[in-house]
């Protein structure tokens, strides 16, 4: 199982270069509503909300027109970065890839005025981020085509589809919720 993070790719146009790809350790995954325990190795931790795709099929060099066959569920995730920590240690540490509950593609429908899937994140009940898959610079199918040129996608891999330029600082004793297309998919605490 791989956790593939796409940096940038939010609010950018098609004429932008392909976004940077980073890999995270399987121990980076934090799911099932488990709390995020703020580590002590950095002064500040920032979460970047994104939609996450679940890979459901083995594939390499996948053509864009066949890419929809390779993912079956979506959720909202948070990619956490330790500020002041360079390289992979700053974004691939234990618990840095927070994952909501997945929703089958057939159960999702566009909710935004832009035709995309709307997603939102709130901290202590206060909305902190609103986004849409329509604002992805490169769509899911194009990203699968791109990433699969370099590495084999396997069943159970996760692709964090973007990283917005603005993150949300994480603070101890806060409660985070997230929705995708109006459905609550994430509910967790920061400790």
Q: What pLDDT score was predicted for residue 155?
A: 98
Q: Where are the domains of the chain?
A: 3-110+134-170
Q: What pLDDT score was predicted for residue 177?
A: 98
β-bridge mates for residue 126, sequence order? 123
- What pLDDT digit, counting tens, does each position of 150-165 carry? 999 999 999 999 999 8
- What pLDDT digit, counting tens, does each position of 17-39 carry? 888 999 999 999 999 999 999 99
Q: Rounded distance, CA 78 to CA 118, Å?
A: 15
Q: Rounded distance, CA 62 to CA 153, Å?
A: 9
Length, in residues, of the chain = 191
119 band by pLDDT with thresholds 50, 70 and 90: very high
Closest Cα partner for 144 from 136, 153, 132?
A: 153
Q: In this structure, are residues 48 and 167 in contact, taking their beta carbons and an 8 Å threshold?
A: yes
12 band by pLDDT with thresholds 50, 70 and 90: low
Mean pLDDT of 3-8: 94
Mean pLDDT of 114-126: 91
Domain 3-110+134-170, second-level architecture = Alpha-Beta Complex (3.90)
Q: What pLDDT score was predicted for residue 165?
A: 87
């Amino acid at each position: 199982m791989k956790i593939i993070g796409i940096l940038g790719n939010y609010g950018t146009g098609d004429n932008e270069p392909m976004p940077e790809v980073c890999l995270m350790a399987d121990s980076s995954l934090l799911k099932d509503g488990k709390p995020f325990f703020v580590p002590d190795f950095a002064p500040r931790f920032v979460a970047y909300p994104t939609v996450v795709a679940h890979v459901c099929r083995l594939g390499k060099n996948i053509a864009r027109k066949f890419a929809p066959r390779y993912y079956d569920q979506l959720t909202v995730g948070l990619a956490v970065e330790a500020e002041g920590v360079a390289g992979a240690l700053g974004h691939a540490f234990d618990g840095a890839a927070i994952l909501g509950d997945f929703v089958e593609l057939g159960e999702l429908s566009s909710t935004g005025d832009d035709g995309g899937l709307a997603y939102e994140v709130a901290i202590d009940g206060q909305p902190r981020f609103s986004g849409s898959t329509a604002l992805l610079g490169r769509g899911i199918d194009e990203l699968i085509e791109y990433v699969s040129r370099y590495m084999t996608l396997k069943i159970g891999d996760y692709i964090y589809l973007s990283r917005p330029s603005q993150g949300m600082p994480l603070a101890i004793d806060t409660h985070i919720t997230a929705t995708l297309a109006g459905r609550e998919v994430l509910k967790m605490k920061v400790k």
